[in-house]
Amino acid sequence: MAATQWAKGDTERALKAWDEYQKSHDVSDQIGQAVGIDPESGRIWFGESALEIVDQLEAEGLQKPLYFLRVGRDYYQRKGGHR
């Protein structure tokens, strides 16, 4: 099965789904974990890394693009470092 491409508006839909999820679920004990968000369905996956989440999808027989963040942050990983 081929993965679909990231469409215009997918990022906004994923962020909206994540915002809605946080309104109805307490994620405070998952701070720092990776979260994968399916912009199409709004489904959320948690794991230690994006790779772990992709492995979860493959175990379910799914292959789809996800938007990744870290719980408690508005990004997954920053590039670069402190000097």
Digit-coded pLDDT (tens) for 13-33: 999 999 999 999 999 999 999
Confidence label for 8 from pLDDT (cuts 50, 70 and 90) = confident
Residue with tokens 């809605």: 20
For the chain, the straight-line distance linking the first and the last C-alpha, in angstroms and rounded, comes to 44
pLDDT band at 1 (very low <50, low <70, confident <90, very high): very low
CB count within 10 Å of CB 35 equals 25
> What is the per-residue pLDDT for 79?
80
Please give the Cα distance from 58 to 64 (Å, whole number).
10
User: What's the pLDDT at 7?
Assistant: 87
Distance CA 39, CA 67 (A): 7
Picking from 66, 83, 67, the residue whose alpha carbon sits closest to that of residue 75 is 67
